[in-house]
Chain A
Amino acid sequence: GAGVSQTPSNKVTEKGKYVELRCDPISGHTALYWYRQSLGQGPEFLIYFQGTGAADDSGLPNDRFFAVRPEGSVSTLKIQRTERGDSAVYLCASSTELAGGRNEQFFGPGTRLTVL
C-alpha cells in the first residue's frame, strides 16, 4: 500500500516568496503531523491535525506559517514571506487515532526547502 507522500521533493525559492508544501497521508489515518528538520537536528514538531481541525499548532514558529487540512486527508503547509532561516526539510507524518500518542507515526520522505 501507499505510504505518506509529499510534494514537491525539493523546493527552491527566493527570500520573501510564498510556498506551499503538500502532504498525502496514508488512507484512513485521522491524525496528521508536520515536523521541520534542520541540518544536524532531529525533527521539530510544528502542528498536528485530528481530522480537519488543528489539535495543536503550538510548534508553528510564527504567523508566517499556516497549515490546513480541509477534508481531513491531504494537508498543505503554507509559508509566507519566506526567510533564509526557513530552509530545512519539512516532514509530514500520519497515524491512526491519537490514543495518547502511542501509535506509530508513519513519515513521508520530506520536502527539502531552500530559501535563497
Chain B
Amino acid sequence: AQSVTQLGSHVSVSEGALVLLRCNYSSSVPPYLFWYVQYPNQGLQLLLKYTTGATLVKGINGFEAEFKKSETSFHLTKPSAHMSDAAEYFCAVGRGSTLGRLYFGRGTQLTVWP
C-alpha cells in the first residue's frame, strides 16, 4: 500500500524567501514521486517527478525536490518565492501493484506575501 503525508496544510512566506513544502510517503516498493501545482480554477500541472536516477530533481518555475529514501521524503523547495507561486501544491506517489494510479496528499496551500 502507498500513502502520502503533506505536513502543513498552509504555508506562508514572504516574497524572496525560501519555500519548503514537506512530503513523506510510504511505499512497499521503490516509488515514483510527483509534485503537482493547482492554480485556482485550473487543472493540476506537473512541477517535477522522480522515477529513477538522480535523487535531486529540478522542475519548472525554479522548483526542485530531493528523494531521500532513508527519510521516505520528497520535499519541494524553491530558493526565492515569487508572488506567482501562490497556489496549492500536491505530492503524489505511484507504482507498486497499483500500476498507473496515483495516491495524492491532502495538499499544501502556499501564500506569498509582498
Contact = CB atoms under 8 A, between A and B. Distances in A.
Interface of A: 3-4, 31, 33, 35, 40-45, 48, 50, 55-56, 59, 91, 93, 95, 98, 100-102, 104-110
Contacts of B41: 109
Given A4-B43, A102-B32, A109-B42, A42 B104 contact: yes
A56 B105 contact: no
Main secondary structure of the interface of B (DSSP, over half): strand
A6 B49 CA distance: 25
Given A102-B49, A107-B43, 20 more contacts: A31-B100, A33-B101, A33-B102, A42-B105, A43-B44, A43-B90, A43-B102, A48-B101, A55-B99, A56-B100, A56-B101, A59-B101, A98-B100, A100-B32, A101-B95, A101-B98, A102-B32, A102-B95, A104-B49, A107-B45
Given A109-B41, A109-B42, A110-B43, A43 B95 contact: no
A52 B104 CA distance: 25
- How many residues of B sit at the interface, in one of the four size bands? 20 to 34
Interface of B: 4, 6, 9, 32, 34, 36, 41-46, 49, 51, 90, 92, 94-95, 98-107
12 contacts: A3-B43, A31-B100, A42-B107, A44-B104, A48-B100, A50-B100, A100-B95, A101-B98, A104-B46, A104-B49, A105-B46, A109-B41
